[in-house]
């Protein structure tokens, strides 16, 4: 089970989501991707997308206005 | 699928609860200061424009709503292609439908139920109606196409640029500067475009007039919005693998 | 647990994002309130050309002699009477207030030189496009399409195709 971190701090939509989608493509089932973001808009669209395609998602607020989105590839 | 399937360890928080509480307090006080300054501005503008304070209040509402709901017009047009998501597109269609009801009422009052007041002295041109009824033609296609490219690259449309300036994005402040420069260029070249009959059609097209009455216009407007909503819904579900 | 409870108010009323639908309904109602009370509809980009012209005129360039400024000369422009100018100020401050109340304000610096180019090119294209089509995603769309104007529908289709091209460019050159 591999773990990968994607630094998207300071990036506005849609860049974090597109990067996340690209990163997920190259990962195997069971792998985990951690996306660092500080844009509230990405906080909504990345989990929305990941859930809609069936991945497991968890959001952690590491600081006020800064989050880690943890996505596990499920299929 | 439950979230508990994630087995990795949680990352350590960057801020302690004390730091976070402090941040909340500081930003809360800052918001109070901003609000007071804004009220002073509104009081000043009110002396220049009797509707000034009201307009500023609505504007403040726009900014708050846009930020709080992460609403983005650019995303509503970009995401179907880029990420396959249509949730914002659907939301925009809802907003358009509600607005249409409002404008319909306002305009019916102005035009009369069978458009009888259109063309009279009180309402010489459809451009005087509530809302923006403006020249439609090749220039609309050209401008919209350029605007669409620009909005996606810049990471925000017109309202989105202003919203992100408020959110603290340096990139959008640069966009703002070049938006102004671009606007001046646009204003300078518009007369040249207007002089080419192929590029500019000075014909505002008002749907109730074009379609021959309010009833067909209402059927067209709400029918199209409804069809587009259904298409967006099916497309979004297909893209995410639900269908 | 007490920590959580203490900040429940903050979480719920100041921080938790609203749904897109909530945003859509409120935006439509606010935009209608504006036109009902003032008689004028919401727009965004109109003032930008005027501000640019005003700056140029202060630099000694006689923009009012240009054909493009004939209908709306800078000399008679009054920012406090310009509805979109006021709502623009409101949008910036409203968004700032929203992030401050959520304790999420942070200056987000440019990440790379690519972002700078994206900002320059995107800004220029939006400015030029908005003036040619007589409005932006608000003035030529959000308060035009619901006003039963055909150009609102045309603008929507055009901006949609522009966005598709822009997405390709963004992924290829600006990421």
Question: Is residue C20 over pLDDT 50?
Answer: yes
Asked if B166 contacts B31 with a C-beta cutoff of 8 angstroms, the reply is no
Instruction: Give C4's pLDDT tier (boundaries 50, 70, 90).
Output: low
Parallel, antiparallel, or unpaired for β A56-63 and A32-37?
Answer: unpaired
E strands, chain C, in order: none
Query: Contact C28/B88, CB-based, under 8 Å?
Result: no
A36 touches chain B (CB under 8 A): no
Active site residue A41: no
What is the interface pTM, i.e. ipTM, of the complex?
Answer: 0.94
Q: Cα separation of B45 and B52, whole Å?
A: 5
Nearest residue of B to residue A49 by CA position? B85
Residues of chain C found within 8 Å of residue A15, distances taken between Cβ atoms: 170, 175
A14 touches chain B (CB under 8 A): yes
B165 touches chain C (CB under 8 A): yes
Question: What local confidence, expressed as pLDDT, does residue C57 receive?
Answer: 95
Interface mutation vs chain C, best among B18, B140, B212, B227, most C CBs within 10 Å: B140
- Beta-carbon contacts of residue C142 (< 8 Å; ≥ 6 apart): B73, B95, B96, B99, C27, C31, C42
Question: What local confidence, expressed as pLDDT, does residue B117 receive?
Answer: 92
pLDDT in tens, B144-174: 999 999 999 998 889 999 999 999 999 999 9
SS3 content of chain C, % helix, strand, coil (to 5): 75, 0, 25
Residue C150 lies in a domain: yes
Neighbours of chain C (3+ CB pairs under 8 A): A, B
Domain ranges of chain B: 18-69, 73-240
Residue C61 lies in a domain: no
DSSP alpha helix (H) spans, chain B = 17-48, 52-68, 73-82, 87-111, 138-154, 158-167, 170-194, 207-210, 214-239
Main-chain phi, psi angles of C149, to 5 degrees: -100, 130
Distance from CA of B6 to the nearest CA of C (A): 23
C98 touches chain A (CB under 8 A): no
pLDDT in tens, B74-92: 999 999 988 888 999 999 9
pLDDT in tens, A29-73: 889 999 999 887 888 889 888 888 889 999 888 888 888 999 998
pTM more than 0.95: no
**Partner residue facing C94 (CB), from B20, B61, B171:** B61
Residues of chain C found within 8 Å of residue A39, distances taken between Cβ atoms: 108
Average pLDDT, chain B: 92
pLDDT in tens, chain B (243 residues): 444 455 555 666 778 888 888 999 999 999 999 999 999 999 999 999 999 999 999 999 999 999 999 998 999 999 998 888 899 999 999 999 999 999 999 999 999 999 999 988 888 899 999 999 999 999 999 999 999 999 999 988 899 999 999 999 999 999 999 999 999 999 999 999 999 999 999 999 999 999 999 999 999 999 999 999 999 999 999 987 776
Query: Domain range for residue C144?
Result: 108-175
Query: Contact A65/C99, CB-based, under 8 Å?
Result: yes
> What is the count of structural domains for chain C?
1
Query: Contact B151/C159, CB-based, under 8 Å?
Result: yes
Asked if A14 contacts B75 with a C-beta cutoff of 8 angstroms, the reply is yes
Which of A13, A27, A32, A59 is an active site residue? A13
Q: Cα separation of C152 and C157, whole Å?
A: 9
Residues of chain B found within 8 Å of residue A3, distances taken between Cβ atoms: 8
Q: For chain C, give the number of residues.
A: 175
Residue C135 lies in a domain: yes
Residues of chain B found within 8 Å of residue C105, distances taken between Cβ atoms: 27, 30, 167-168
Residue A71: its H or E element: strand A66-72
């Amino acid at each position: 089970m591999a773990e990968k971190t994607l630094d998207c701090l300071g990036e506005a939509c849609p860049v974090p989501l597109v990067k996340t989608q690209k990163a997920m493509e190259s990962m195997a089932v069971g792998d985990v991707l951690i996306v660092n973001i500080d844009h509230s808009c990405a906080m909504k669209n990345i989990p929305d997308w990941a859930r809609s395609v069936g991945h497991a998602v968890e959001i952690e607020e590491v600081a006020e206005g800064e989050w880690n989105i943890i996505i596990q590839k499920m299929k | 699928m439950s979230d508990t399937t994630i087995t990795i360890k949680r990352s350590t928080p960057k801020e302690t609860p004390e730091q976070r509480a402090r941040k909340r307090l500081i930003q809360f006080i800052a918001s109070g200061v901003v609000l007071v300054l804004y009220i002073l501005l509104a009081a000043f503008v009110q002396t220049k424009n009797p509707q000034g304070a009201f307009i500023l209040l609505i504007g403040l509402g726009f900014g708050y709503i846009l930020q709080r709901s992460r609403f983005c017009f650019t995303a509503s047009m970009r995401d179907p292609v880029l990420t396959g998501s249509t949730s914002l597109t659907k939301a925009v269609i809802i907003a358009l439908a509600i607005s249409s009801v409002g404008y319909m009422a306002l305009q019916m009052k102005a035009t009369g139920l069978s458009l009888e007041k259109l063309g009279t002295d009180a309402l010489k041109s459809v451009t005087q109606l509530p809302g923006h009824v403006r020249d439609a033609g090749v220039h609309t296609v050209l401008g919209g196409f350029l605007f669409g490219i620009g909005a996606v690259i810049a990471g925000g449309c017109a309202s989105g640029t202003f919203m992100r300036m408020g959110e603290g994005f340096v990139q959008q402040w640069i966009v703002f500067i070049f938006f102004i420069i671009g606007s001046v260029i646009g204003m300078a070249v518009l007369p040249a475009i207007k002089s080419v009959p192929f590029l500019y059609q000075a014909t505002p097209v008002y749907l109730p007039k074009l379609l021959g009455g309010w009833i067909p216009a209402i059927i067209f407007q709400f029918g199209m919005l409804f069809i587009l909503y259904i298409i967006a819904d099916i497309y979004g579900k297909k893209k995410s693998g639900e269908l | 647990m007490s920590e959580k409870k203490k900040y429940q108010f903050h979480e719920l009323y100041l921080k938790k994002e609203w749904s897109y639908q909530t945003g859509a309904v409120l935006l439509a109602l606010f935009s209608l309130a504006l036109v009902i009370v003032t008689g004028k509809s919401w727009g965004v980009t109109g003032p930008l050309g005027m501000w640019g012209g005003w700056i140029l005129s202060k630099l000694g360039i006689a923009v009012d002699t240009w054909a493009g400024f004939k209908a709306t000369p800078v000399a008679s422009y009054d920012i406090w009477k310009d509805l979109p100018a006021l709502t623009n100020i409101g949008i910036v401050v409203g968004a700032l207030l929203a992030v401050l109340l959520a304790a999420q304000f942070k200056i987000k610096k440019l990440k790379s030189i690519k972002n700078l180019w994206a900002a320059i090119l995107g800004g220029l294209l939006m400015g030029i496009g908005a003036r040619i089509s007589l409005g932006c995603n608000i003035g030529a769309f959000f308060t035009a399409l619901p006003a039963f104007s055909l150009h609102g529908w045309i603008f929507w289709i055009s901006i949609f195709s522009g966005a598709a091209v822009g997405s390709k460019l963004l992924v290829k050159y600006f990421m």
